[in-house]
Amino acid sequence: MSALGRHILVEFMGCNPEILNDVFVIEQGMVKAATKAGATVINSTFHHFSPYGVSGVVVIQESHLAIHTWPEYGYAAVDLFTCGDSVDPWISFDYLKKVFESSNYSALEMKRGSLNLLQRMHFDMNNIREEAKKHINPETFNRNVWFTDKDENQALSLRYTGEVLYDKTSEFQRTRIIDTYAYGTTLTIDNMVMCTEKDESHYHEMISHPAILSHGHIKKVLVIGGGDGGTIREVLRHSSVEKVTMVEIDENVIEASKMYLPSVSRSFNHPKLKLIVGDGIKFVEEAKPESYDLIIVDGSDPVGPAEGLFSKKFYESCFNALTPNGILVTQAESPLFNDRAFVELNGCLKEVFGNEKVKTLLFHIPTYPSGTWSFQLGVKGDIDVTNVKDECAETFGNNHLLNYYNANVHRGAFALPNFVKRMLNEL
């Protein structure tokens, strides 16, 4: 041995972009590349950066394997650093080339710690290493895998087990279920957090109860989107509701939620529910006039299949489908995170319903960008959605053991900060 270690700097090119954007596949591949080379894995730490890119390192007793990917270029930069004679980094290289489906590469090997430049201390490192191996179980190691929902200015990271419980891609989007340590089972769509067990009640209680309890006579409800089932669960708590029609475009979201989010999706078999897998935009366009007391638009961000849910034409169709005292509730983004969509949607609704008939509701949800999210409500009749009878709200909340909603939260949610009022020209 002429050096303490071997360091291979690798550039994998022409790789499969989907693989380079899959933190689970990459973490598994890097760990296996280490073990195939004869290394002893100590731990692994990997992050996925939404929408593109993975960074990570596998710490081995003989040094480390590290990676960063640029899926949009089909490119991965990899460091393979091993010490001693027992581990061959080129075995790791060969394995990773296959995993990433690389069509081209460049690789440079460097010797680290040239022995002719170093003086050895007088203790037996080999015996120390052999003794250390007795206390290491090569079958177990600490996995530290992170899912990151990120834009160019901010990010939210959730540590999860490294296992992907559900992973299917439809013609519309990619649906995954992961198991996070802090927030439990988590639904992601196109690498964005949609729903977690720990805080989903914030969203689903606030998208439904303020409108229903302030109205007092909601009987027929239409839900557009909401494939996780949380919104219909909350709507169907109300005994006054006679029928709920739900239109979800992607059956995979429903399937994933039924399989891995049973507490959220438990109402899919409710006798009052009519479930339609189809295009909600088209459904509303073809709906009979004045056929719903409440329309809830539980869509994702204004991209992909949800993009049409942020158009004036769509909300005009919703207006026509509402009864004379009907209410529309729509997911409206964050005034801090997506201020442009937030303001444009408010203006669009005011054109359709009238300036005084549109109200903005804010609430807290930790796993959405900025932690502050909103719904906007369009009122067709004379209902004051900003107020509720205390006894009615408190009795309902206590009877159903609600986590977030109560009478004070109802009223407070409509009390807007000054910066939001300025954005909406209400100050």
Q: Binding site for S-methyl-5'-thioadenosine: what residues are annotated?
A: 173, 248, 279-280, 305
Which residue is catalytic, options 215, 298, 300, 317?
298
Please confirm, yes or no, whether 83 is among the known catalytic residues.
yes
Q: Is residue 168 part of a domain?
A: no
Q: Is residue 66 part of a domain?
A: yes
Q: Is 370 exposed, middle or buried (0-12, 13-18, 19+ CB in 10 A)?
A: middle
Q: Which of 100, 127, 145 marks a domain boundary?
A: 145
Which residue is catalytic, options 64, 68, 364, 400?
68
Q: Is residue 264 part of a domain?
A: yes
Q: Is the pTM of this model over 0.75?
A: yes
Q: Which of 98, 123, 145 marks a domain boundary?
A: 145
Same structural domain, 416 and 282:
yes
Same structural domain, 284 and 409:
yes
Same structural domain, 207 and 274:
yes
Same structural domain, 141 and 215:
no
CATH value at residue 85 = 3.60.90.10
Would you write out the chain's pLDDT as a tens digit for each of its 427 residues?
577 888 999 999 999 999 999 888 999 999 999 999 999 898 899 998 877 899 999 999 889 999 999 999 999 999 999 887 788 999 999 999 999 999 999 999 988 887 777 777 766 656 655 665 555 555 556 777 888 887 777 778 898 888 889 999 999 999 999 999 999 999 999 888 999 999 999 999 999 999 999 999 999 999 999 999 999 999 999 999 999 999 999 999 999 999 999 999 999 999 999 999 999 999 999 999 999 999 999 987 664 455 567 789 999 999 999 999 999 999 999 999 889 999 999 999 999 999 999 999 999 999 998 999 999 999 999 999 999 999 999 999 999 999 999 999 999 999 999 999 999 998 7
Please confirm, yes or no, whether 63 is among the known catalytic residues.
yes
Q: What angle do CA 43, 148, 186 make, to 5 degrees?
A: 95
Q: Binding site: what residues are annotated?
A: 173, 204, 228, 248, 279-280, 305
**Cα–Cα distance, 61 to 116 (Å, whole number):** 24
Paired strand residues for 298: 225
Which residue is catalytic, options 15, 83, 195, 348?
83
Q: Which of 106, 124, 145 marks a domain boundary?
A: 145
**Cα–Cα distance, 401 to 252 (Å, whole number):** 30
Q: Binding site for spermidine: what residues are annotated?
A: 204, 228
Please confirm, yes or no, whether 298 is among the known catalytic residues.
yes
**Cα–Cα distance, 21 to 32 (Å, whole number):** 18
Same structural domain, 225 and 331:
yes
Same structural domain, 408 and 293:
yes
Which residue is catalytic, options 55, 63, 201, 334?
63
Q: Is residue 56 part of a domain?
A: yes
**Cα–Cα distance, 68 to 146 (Å, whole number):** 14
Collapse the DSSP code of 120 into the 3-class scheme (helix H, G, I; strand E, B; otherwise coil) and give the result: coil
Same structural domain, 140 and 214:
no
Residue 56's domain spans which residues? Answer: 3-145
Same structural domain, 287 and 369:
yes
